[in-house]
Amino acid sequence: MLGQKLLPWDYGVRNLFRRPSRSVLTLGGLTIVVLLVLVVVGFIRGLEKSLAATGNPNVVLVYALSSGADIENSSIPGRSPSLLAASVDGVRRRHGVEYVSPELYLATRITASGMSEDALSQGGMGLVRGVTTAAPLVRDKVQLLEGAWPQSGEVIVGRLAHSKLGAEEEDLAIGQQVSFDGQSWTISGTFVAAGSAFESEIWAPLADLQTALKRQDLSMLAVAMDSPEGVADVDLFCRERIDLELKAVSESGYYAALQKHYKPVRMLGWVVVVLVAGSGIFAGLNTMYGAVVGRVRELATLQALGFRRRAILLTLVQEATLLACAGALVACLIGLLLVDGTAVRFTMGAFMLSVDSVGIAVACGVAALLGVVGALPPAIKAMRLPIVEAIKAI
């Protein structure tokens, strides 16, 4: 291939400016296709991140036997943490602190003082988690971004909590008030959690939340063990203490189950990617047919001069690929500027569309495919014509 004499690079480039309006339209079409691919892949990647980021094999989640996978409906006795810590060896301890995080979790209507009427009327369903200071020890992906750990009457908010509520980011800034369950809370800080589902939650001190809700029970425990083997010990504890009606699952297992639950959504996403790319190829094919048909005679002239068919094929693929790559570039720019980080509300929380290296790689791959697959059939068709016939074409 390389031993062969190729057409000048400029020839391919200048052909793109031959019919500027057609090239611009094609570029627009290709850009939209690549952007769509980028958005869908960003959706899948964002979803995957929010599901995958949290699974720590050393962490066990303990919740009510009757609750299924749904923590919201889980209720376990308030004395479970101390019982568990006392009976199970292998619970992680540092400086006399046990890594046992009792948590109360609920979905409830939340309003922020700055929220617009609009946002208030439609939605406002937020996720609240009552936690103790053990929570950040066990949930080690959670990190305070700004501000301070909540004292009594205060909360910290995940960086996507506002979008779960349908509010503006300013509405949940430090110092603002939020109210839920008949009580008003002051925001003392914001936190991140590596893109995981925690980021759409609001965390309040457990004791305050229990008082506000007039509840003594918990939704669950998160327990950090010294090693993944400890998970089995917790499981054994849950089975022995039938009276507590507990069940244990490793955090990674829990998220694996969640991932499985969302697998159809992800698969659907990939199907959409394939469909979008496929329709893009047809659009590309159509344009390339137009571009090649008008040049049959010129391509025959090149053959008559002694250029091999493969060299001519390559220049046509070059043209289409250049255009597709330009489309990919524009799409990736738009993607990084406008799509990346856009929050998507979801039943289980919110997550951000993620234009990452995978998304960009897929987008560029689709673009390259559009160029090559779109250019080859019309080019091959033109090359099939005998030179003497093609050279008489108008």
Residue 49 CB neighbour total at 10 angstroms? 18
Give how many residues touch other proteins by CB under 8 A.
24
* Residue bearing tokens 């779109």: 374
Per-residue binding letters, 303-342, with other proteins (x by CB under 8 A):
xxxxxxx---------------------------------
Q: How far is the CB of 318 from other proteins (least distance, A)?
A: 13
Q: Which is nearer to other proteins, 10 or 118 (CB)?
A: 10
Residues contacting 234, CB < 8 A, separation 6+? 60, 62, 84, 88, 223, 225, 248
Least distance in Å: CB of 330 to other proteins?
24
- Minimum distance of other proteins from residue 386's CB (angstroms): 7
360 token code pair: 């960009």
Task: State which residue, 194 or 391, has the beta carbon closest to other proteins.
Answer: 391
Q: Between 175 and 386, whose beta carbon lies closer to other proteins?
A: 386
The least CB distance from residue 371 to other proteins, in Å, is 19
Q: How far is the CB of 194 from other proteins (least distance, A)?
A: 52
Residue 142 near residue 83 (C-beta atoms within 8 A): no
Instruction: Rank residues 14 and 239 by Cβ distance to other proteins and give the closer one.
Output: 14
From 9, 18, 133, 152, residue interacting with other proteins (rule: CB under 8 A): 18
264 versus 306: smaller Cβ distance to other proteins: 306
For residues 178 and 202, the answer to whether their CB atoms sit within 8 Å is yes
Positive or negative, the CA dihedral 376, 379, 382, 386 is negative
Nearest residue (CB) to other proteins, 261 versus 392? 392
Question: By CB under 8 A, which span of 1-9, 180-188, 237-245, 261-269 interacts with other proteins?
Answer: 1-9
* C-alpha to C-alpha distance for 290 and 259, rounded to whole angstroms: 45
Query: Smallest distance from the beta carbon of 297 to other proteins, in angstroms?
Result: 7
105/307 with CB nearer other proteins? 307
Nearer to other proteins, 263 or 392 (CB): 392
Comparing CB distances to other proteins, the nearer of 157 and 316 is: 316
Q: How far apart are CA 11 and CA 151, in angstroms?
A: 70
Question: 236 vs 75, 91, 105, 231, 241, CA distance in Å?
Answer: 19, 14, 25, 9, 9
Selected binder of other proteins within 11, 236, 271, 338 (CB under 8 A): 11
Q: Least CB distance from residue 21 to other proteins, whole Å?
A: 16
Q: 3-class DSSP state for residue 104?
A: strand
**22 is a contact residue toward other proteins (CB under 8 A):** no
Q: SS3 helix, strand, coil % of the chain, rounded to 5?
A: 55, 20, 25
Closest to 112 in 3D by CA, of 187, 57, 48, 59: 187
Instruction: Select the span of 5-13, 144-152, 154-162, 190-198 touching other proteins (CB under 8 A).
Output: 5-13
Q: Where are the beta strands (DSSP E) in the chain?
A: 59-64, 93-94, 97-98, 100-109, 111-112, 125-131, 143-147, 154-158, 177-180, 183-192, 201-205, 220-224, 246-250, 343-346, 349-352
Site for other proteins in 251-310 (CB under 8 A): 297-298, 301-309
Question: 248: burial class by Cβ within 10 Å (0-12, 13-18, 19+)?
Answer: buried
Site string for other proteins, 375-394 (x = CB under 8 A): -----------xxx--x---
- Minimum Å distance from CB 171 to other proteins? 57
Site of interaction with other proteins (CB under 8 A) = 5, 7-8, 10-11, 14-15, 17-18, 297-298, 301-309, 386-388, 391
